[in-house]
Amino acid sequence: MDLKGYNPFKMAQEQFDKVADLLNLDQGVRELLRNPNREYHFNIPVKMDDGTTKVFRGFRVQHNDARGPGKGGIRFHPQETEDTVRALSMWMTWKCSVVDIPLGGSKGGVICDPHNLSKREQEQICRGWVRQIAHDVGPLRDVPAPDVMTNGQHMLWMLDEFETIHGHRFPGFITGKPVGMGGSLGRTEATGYGVIFTVREALRQMNIQPEETTASVQGFGNVAQYAIDLYQQLGGKVICVSCWDQGDQKSYSFRKLTGINLNELRSITDHFGGIEKDKARELGYDVLPGEDWIGQEVDILIPAAMENQIRKDNVKNISSKVKIIAEGANGPTTPEADEVIQRNGIFLIPDFLANAGGVTCSYFEQVQCNMNYYWEKDEVLSKLDIKMTSAFLDVCKLAETKKLYMRDAAYVIAINRVAQACKDRGWV
């Protein structure tokens, strides 16, 4: 990933400024919404397995809570930065708003690499993170969730620490928990399925049958795997996926022109989404450079990995055959690349709409925890489909009516709702 000169928060602000001009927002609203309401930066000292003490840097950024308690994941990543967390918290505000759920935007993170940490060390980081922020988060204030390289076990350790500190049971404090411990059925599939619900609707708009299409996917973590799963159920064919190789510290693309076998690849994938190269070759996959996912002759591209993946330097590699880009990741496309995508007439489903299935299902989990009544999986996924489809159609209708790029239309709806909530509260 090319990080030279890349600042995700600056990119998020540029995206906001563009739409603020479209909406003619007054200066007070702009100043309130283009920066986080609150930020927490703290140290997390951990006694390591070898007896030494290591200090990890943790963050929680609360961008805006005018529409409800903050909502957003906690990611563990060695390249985590304050500006990444700031950008993600802003995108969470727009994400909750565009699908019209009563939550605001937050994000958290710790600079660490779970690949190199024992389970005990990871648990201590989780508990240490909560100890530093326990009085500034909670089910009625700010609700965390899993993100990159965190999972249900991490959330459960955090929940246990939060409940120990406060002396009560608060299952709605955190989402993405294991099923049976307050987690929701369908949450694992939600983000990836949500991406494909929007792709399905885009194909309907174009009068294209899913079984007539092919796709290339960047990433092979939870979001990518379940996006591939549902897309294949609809009849589509994925010919290429890419993933990060922890050992080589670089990414690779895995291509099979007859279509990948999802279960086959899952069987040779570690729990961080890394595919074993040698075993993939034995199974007939072409092992290509990581960037090659973007240049495949397919109808649909699904970036479902990290930020800053479709850029000015590689957007030209996108095939003229590509009709749809569905952003499963947060912030995968830079503004410079966006201009090229728009000029080339590619139908783009923006990140904070396409991948909103995760936060929507997290909201469902929170509702279920608060009323202590849990829905069956089919009910969860049905409600998710209705919510995602409704949001997509609202954005699509505005884009058509006002002749707007899909990203701009989604921002107009999301920012309008948040700005109105701030005005209704008398903040501006």
* Residues with catalytic function: 107
Q: Distance of alpha carbon 101 from its chain centroid, rounded?
A: 16
Report the C-alpha gap between 179 and 31 in whole angstroms.
Answer: 41
Is 99 in contact with 356 (CB distance < 8 Å)? yes
Report the C-alpha gap between 175 and 173 in whole angstroms.
Answer: 7
Beta bridge partners of 73: 145
Report the C-alpha gap between 341 and 294 in whole angstroms.
Answer: 13
Closest residue by Cα to residue 410 from 388, 395, 426:
395
Residue with tokens 């897309």: 231
Report the C-alpha gap between 154 and 290 in whole angstroms.
Answer: 29
Q: How many other CB atoms sit within 10 Å of the CB of residue 79? A: 10
> Of how many residues is the chain composed?
428
Q: Residues 379, 385, 387, CA angle at the centre, nearest 5°? A: 100
Closest residue by Cα to residue 421 from 136, 133, 151, 97:
97
Closest residue by Cα to residue 353 from 402, 421, 405:
405
Report the C-alpha gap between 426 and 414 in whole angstroms.
Answer: 19
Report the C-alpha gap between 292 and 253 in whole angstroms.
Answer: 6
Write the DSSP symbol of residue 257. Answer: T
Report the C-alpha gap between 138 and 162 in whole angstroms.
Answer: 8
Report the C-alpha gap between 177 and 157 in whole angstroms.
Answer: 10
